[in-house]
Amino acid sequence: MSEVPEYLNRRRVLKALVAGAVGGTVGTLAATKLVHASSEVASSVTAKLPQLPKTPKNISPEMLAKDESFWAQVALNYDKVQGIVNLEHGYWGKMSKQVQEVFIAKTEMVNTQLSVYGRRHFKDDLAHSTNRAAQALGAENEEVVLTRNATESIHNLMRQYNNFEVNDTVLFADIDYPSFKDTMRWLAKTQNVEPVEVILPAQTNQSEILDIYVKAFDKHPNLKLMLLTHVSNQHGLILPVADIAKAAKMRGIDVICDCAQSWGLLDFTIADLNVDWAGFNLHKWIGSPVGVGALYMKKGSLEKISPYPGEIDPNNTLVNKRVHTATSNFASILTVPAAIDFHESIGPANKEARLRYLRNLWVEEAKKLPNIEVLGGEDDASSTGMGAFRIKGKVSLDDAKMLQQRLENEFNVFTVVRVGLASGCCIRVTPQIFISAEEIKQLILALKSL
């Protein structure tokens, strides 16, 4: 495991630096230099922030996952609210203290320098952040463009898809993100094509999932475009994306892959997915500030996704012409390299293993309880640190809301209701890497009392 980069371990003294940068000298050579220096933020930051613990040598991620003292040290790098066990970290992630420091410094810098920074230097810094994201994904720089969130990335792919013909079909699944299912239904209506929804069992595994998709492909020979989710937001189920995408490609079906919940929760690179188009965010499991997503489009695959309305790309080679984000949070984008550095310093495989371990702690207990139904992956290959459950037979929205309230009010455990599964509503449980095994015990206690 690499150590945290030096600039992540120091506190900013940027205020003074930036204040001097613009105070009346804009346009001079001195100001130019200062503006540039401050856009590299934080190499001069000094006060103490927690250090990441060194990873013990020769220890597997699975073994390290059980080392509470190691993860307690990791947790020191995060500000944590006291008084409630928060097991709802699927909404958005958390910046480490170091990343937050960089974000604050960048915010101050941008807010001080405004257009002087924006017009002179942002383009280069945006390219730097984009390239860092591409590198971490294992993609080429030209294959990635930063967006504001996964929704922007996926919506643009859906709306700008230009290859429909009469009688075509589009496909999505009950485990997909509810808002994207709605967008697929809207797409079908506006493009005058047929929508098909695949239903997955409440508990399932990799081979069963693949089988269901392949049967759907064979049943709908006019299938042209499908939404495929890497990790379901409802219960953390992993889909065998590469295998499904292979079967789809063989039949000429185009795949839009939703990786909003997977990047950083799982350790993978884009090549592992075997898809041409994917949408990500960095504000969930990568730990960037809120407001950063990414769109991946494999080189040579751009033709069927038109440029964003008004953009021009005659040779279909420019991914950045597929979005037009306009003014967005500069500081969030500038903090991307720091967030990825921090994520990688802990180690993507270590994070994945720790989160799985925390899930298994409560799932193993829950499975012994006759009144609890655990949802999602039946096997390790199909499950992540994110999981879900409900009281057997209680599948309505009201049932799920009541259960969420009981967990919160009687047991001080914060979770969230998820809707959209064909089998009914559920409670999603999503620990983060700063959650301890002790905190998971609080959920187990609650489950045993329900």
User: Minimum distance from CB of 161 to ligand PLP (Å)?
Assistant: 17
Identity of the residue, 17 or 278, whose beta carbon is nearer to ligand PLP in the bound complex: 278
Identity of the residue, 41 or 150, whose beta carbon is nearer to ligand PLP in the bound complex: 150
User: Minimum distance from CB of 20 to ligand PLP (Å)?
Assistant: 37
Between 143 and 162, how does the x/- string for binding to ligand PLP read (CB under 6 A)?
Answer: ------xxx-----------
Running DSSP on this structure, what letter comes out for residue 292?
A: -
In the list 206, 229, 306, 335, the residue contacting ligand PLP (rule: CB under 6 A) is 229
Taking the C-alpha atoms of residue 298 and residue 336, their distance in angstroms, rounded to an integer, is 21
Identity of the residue, 109 or 170, whose beta carbon is nearer to ligand PLP in the bound complex: 170
Taking the C-alpha atoms of residue 111 and residue 126, their distance in angstroms, rounded to an integer, is 17
Identity of the residue, 30 or 422, whose beta carbon is nearer to ligand PLP in the bound complex: 422
Identity of the residue, 205 or 229, whose beta carbon is nearer to ligand PLP in the bound complex: 229
* Sign for the pseudo-dihedral over CA of 47, 50, 52, 53: positive
User: Minimum distance from CB of 281 to ligand PLP (Å)?
Assistant: 3
User: Minimum distance from CB of 214 to ligand PLP (Å)?
Assistant: 22
Work out the end-to-end distance of the chain between its first and last CA atoms, rounded to an integer number of angstroms. Answer: 41
Running DSSP on this structure, what letter comes out for residue 450?
A: -
Of 23-31, 72-80, 235-243, 258-266, the segment contacting ligand PLP by CB under 6 A is 258-266
User: Minimum distance from CB of 229 to ligand PLP (Å)?
Assistant: 5
Identity of the residue, 4 or 266, whose beta carbon is nearer to ligand PLP in the bound complex: 266
Helix (H) or strand (E) holding 198: strand 194-198
User: Minimum distance from CB of 149 to ligand PLP (Å)?
Assistant: 3
Angstrom CA distances, 95 to 50, 53, 340, 428, stand at 14, 17, 11, 22
By CB under 6 A, is residue 420 in contact with ligand PLP? no
Whether residue 93 contacts residue 284, with contact meaning beta carbons closer than 8 Å, is answered with: yes
Residue 65: partners with Cβ closer than 8 Å, 6 or more residues away:
350, 353, 354, 356, 357
Identity of the residue, 91 or 410, whose beta carbon is nearer to ligand PLP in the bound complex: 91
User: Minimum distance from CB of 257 to ligand PLP (Å)?
Assistant: 10
In the list 101, 125, 258, 373, the residue contacting ligand PLP (rule: CB under 6 A) is 258
Taking the C-alpha atoms of residue 54 and residue 233, their distance in angstroms, rounded to an integer, is 32
Taking the C-alpha atoms of residue 37 and residue 21, their distance in angstroms, rounded to an integer, is 9
In the list 177, 217, 263, 389, the residue contacting ligand PLP (rule: CB under 6 A) is 177
User: Minimum distance from CB of 150 to ligand PLP (Å)?
Assistant: 4
By CB under 6 A, is residue 233 in contact with ligand PLP? yes
Q: Retrieve residue 258's tokens.
A: 């939703």
Identity of the residue, 281 or 382, whose beta carbon is nearer to ligand PLP in the bound complex: 281
CA 153 to chain centroid, in Å, comes to 12
By CB under 6 A, is residue 432 in contact with ligand PLP? no
Q: What phi-psi label fits residue 393: left (phi over 0), alpha (psi between -120 and 50 degrees) or beta? A: left
Identity of the residue, 86 or 229, whose beta carbon is nearer to ligand PLP in the bound complex: 229
User: Minimum distance from CB of 282 to ligand PLP (Å)?
Assistant: 9
Identity of the residue, 229 or 332, whose beta carbon is nearer to ligand PLP in the bound complex: 229
User: Minimum distance from CB of 178 to ligand PLP (Å)?
Assistant: 9
Identity of the residue, 18 or 136, whose beta carbon is nearer to ligand PLP in the bound complex: 136
CA 107 to chain centroid, in Å, comes to 23
User: Minimum distance from CB of 171 to ligand PLP (Å)?
Assistant: 16
Identify the CA nearest to 67 among candidates 79, 80, 54, 78: 54
Identity of the residue, 150 or 266, whose beta carbon is nearer to ligand PLP in the bound complex: 150
The full DSSP string for 80-139 is --SSSEE-B-SS-----HHHHHHHHHHHHHHHHHHHHHHHHTHHHHHHHHHHHHHHHHT-
Between 369 and 408, how does the x/- string for binding to ligand PLP read (CB under 6 A)?
Answer: ----------------------------------------
Q: Reduced to 3 states, what is the DSSP secondary structure of residue 245?
A: helix
In the list 38, 113, 261, 384, the residue contacting ligand PLP (rule: CB under 6 A) is 261
Residue 141: partners with Cβ closer than 8 Å, 6 or more residues away:
127, 130, 131, 134, 135
Q: Retrieve residue 83's tokens.
A: 């008084």
Q: Reduced to 3 states, what is the DSSP secondary structure of residue 358?
A: helix
Please give the residues from 275 up to 314 whose contact with ligand PLP meets the rule CB under 6 A. Answer: 281, 293
Angstrom CA distances, 94 to 6, 75, 83, 216, stand at 20, 11, 18, 38
Total Cβ atoms within 10 A of residue 24 = 7
Taking the C-alpha atoms of residue 192 and residue 315, their distance in angstroms, rounded to an integer, is 28
By CB under 6 A, is residue 55 in contact with ligand PLP? no
Which residues form the interface with ligand PLP (CB under 6 A)?
149-151, 177, 229, 233, 258, 260-261, 281, 293
